[in-house]
Amino acid sequence: MAGVDFGPRATKELLRQYGVIAKKQLGQNFLIDARVLDGIVAAVNADDHTVALEVGPGLGALTTQLAERARQVVAIEKDETLRPLLGGVLAGQGNVELVFADCLKVDIETLVSPFLQEDDDLVFAANLPYYVTTPILFAVLESKLPLRRAVVMVQREVADRMVAAPGGKDYGVLSVGVQYRGAVQRLFVVPPSAFLPQPGVESAVVLIDCEHRPPLRAPDEETFFRVVRAAFSTRRKTLENALAGGLGIAKLEAADLIRRAGLNPSARAEALSIEDFVRLAEQMGP
């Protein structure tokens, strides 16, 4: 069904027609603002070499737009009751693989890989459910999929943490985790009025450009994230105390590790750059 209208009136009618009531517990706030949708679609920048992975297609507002531009769309939706509605909205879109599952319980790689051809552009596009934004984001970013970019709508505060630079209160595990995987940019802020039902908070659309990741790589990602989590485990403490507590090692050992990485044991985690964390992980060894 190309060119489906997802404005406020048409969306209410669609919900009524299929007897669907938005489920708060699944973070169902459906996008009803065409300009916001256009902004996301422009950032996704899909063409006939694009495979788009969408989590939470909902009523299909973004899915239909992706299907019109990308070669293939793989959309994973947890809410089985949306099956008849999505089947109707996406009728005739032969390039959409709809999977009804909890995206945190399926192997995303196995679902997407069969559709990937050489030279394809894999893009993750989603208006993420607020209650589970970070786990979904990391499930996709940490997969072995050759992701080129991600365009995600998240709560505005989460967007601020994703783009935060060292030194500020927003800089933490989320900032380091996302920025380690790509160049992160907040594209625009979205008011509650862009959704049905309206959420109680503002949202923002964020672009993660995975082709422009920081050049420094940790030899072992698991160790890298263990160090990052330990460093931020307690914000008031110095780096040596945070690492000693978070990694379960002696304070002297932590101080030695920090010095070998060329850092000051009395520094605070929020002052460290991604490269500093990589150097710390290098000193830890696997």
98 scored as a contact of ligand SAM (CB under 6 A):
no
Verify cis geometry, omega within 30 degrees of 0, for the bond prior to 192: no
62 scored as a contact of ligand SAM (CB under 6 A):
yes
Please say whether the beta carbons of 222 and 242 come within 8 A.
Answer: no
Which residue lies nearer to ligand SAM by CB, 128 or 255?
Answer: 128
Residue from 14, 20, 29, 154 binding ligand SAM (CB under 6 A) = 29
* Residue number, nearest CB to ligand SAM: 56
172 scored as a contact of ligand SAM (CB under 6 A):
no
Please say whether the beta carbons of 44 and 52 come within 8 A.
Answer: yes
128 alpha-carbon distance from chain centroid: 8
Applying CB under 6 A, the span of 75-83, 110-118, 163-171, 246-254 interacting with ligand SAM comes to 75-83
Annotated binding-site residue? 270: no
Annotated binding-site residue? 31: yes
- Residue 96: exposed, middle, or buried by beta-carbon count in 10 A (0-12, 13-18, 19+)? buried
CA-to-CA distance for 264 and 258, rounded, in angstroms? 7
- The per-residue b/e assignment along 150-165, b for 16 or more CB within 10 angstroms, e otherwise, is bbbbbbeebbbbbbbe
Residues in Cβ contact with 2 at an 8 Å cutoff, skipping those fewer than 6 apart: 64, 68, 92, 93
Applying CB under 6 A, the span of 58-66, 116-124, 168-176, 244-252 interacting with ligand SAM comes to 58-66
Which residue lies nearer to ligand SAM by CB, 61 or 178?
Answer: 61
CB of 30 to ligand SAM, least distance (A): 4
27 scored as a contact of ligand SAM (CB under 6 A):
yes
The phi, psi pair for 285, rounded to 5°, reads 75, 170
64 scored as a contact of ligand SAM (CB under 6 A):
no
Residue from 28, 50, 65, 223 binding ligand SAM (CB under 6 A) = 28
79 scored as a contact of ligand SAM (CB under 6 A):
yes
Applying CB under 6 A, the span of 102-110, 141-149, 166-174, 184-192 interacting with ligand SAM comes to 102-110
Q: Which amino acid is at 63?
A: T
Residue from 20, 46, 57, 158 binding ligand SAM (CB under 6 A) = 57
Q: How far is CA 226 from CA 44, 173, 218, 278, in A?
A: 32, 10, 12, 11
- Residue 184 in tokens: 């992160």
- List the beta bridge partners of residue 77: 100
Residue from 67, 132, 210, 280 binding ligand SAM (CB under 6 A) = 132
DSSP for 79-134 reads -GGGHHHHHHHTTT-TTEEEEES-TTTS-HHHHHGGG--TT-EEEEEEE--GGGHH
187 scored as a contact of ligand SAM (CB under 6 A):
no
CB of 153 to ligand SAM, least distance (A): 7
CA-to-CA distance for 58 and 21, rounded, in angstroms? 11
51 scored as a contact of ligand SAM (CB under 6 A):
no
190 scored as a contact of ligand SAM (CB under 6 A):
no
> Which residues define the annotated binding site for S-adenosyl-L-methionine?
29, 31, 56, 77, 102, 127
> Which residues define the annotated binding site?
29, 31, 56, 77, 102, 127
Contact residues for ligand SAM, defined by CB under 6 A: 26-31, 55-59, 61-62, 76-79, 102-104, 127, 129, 132
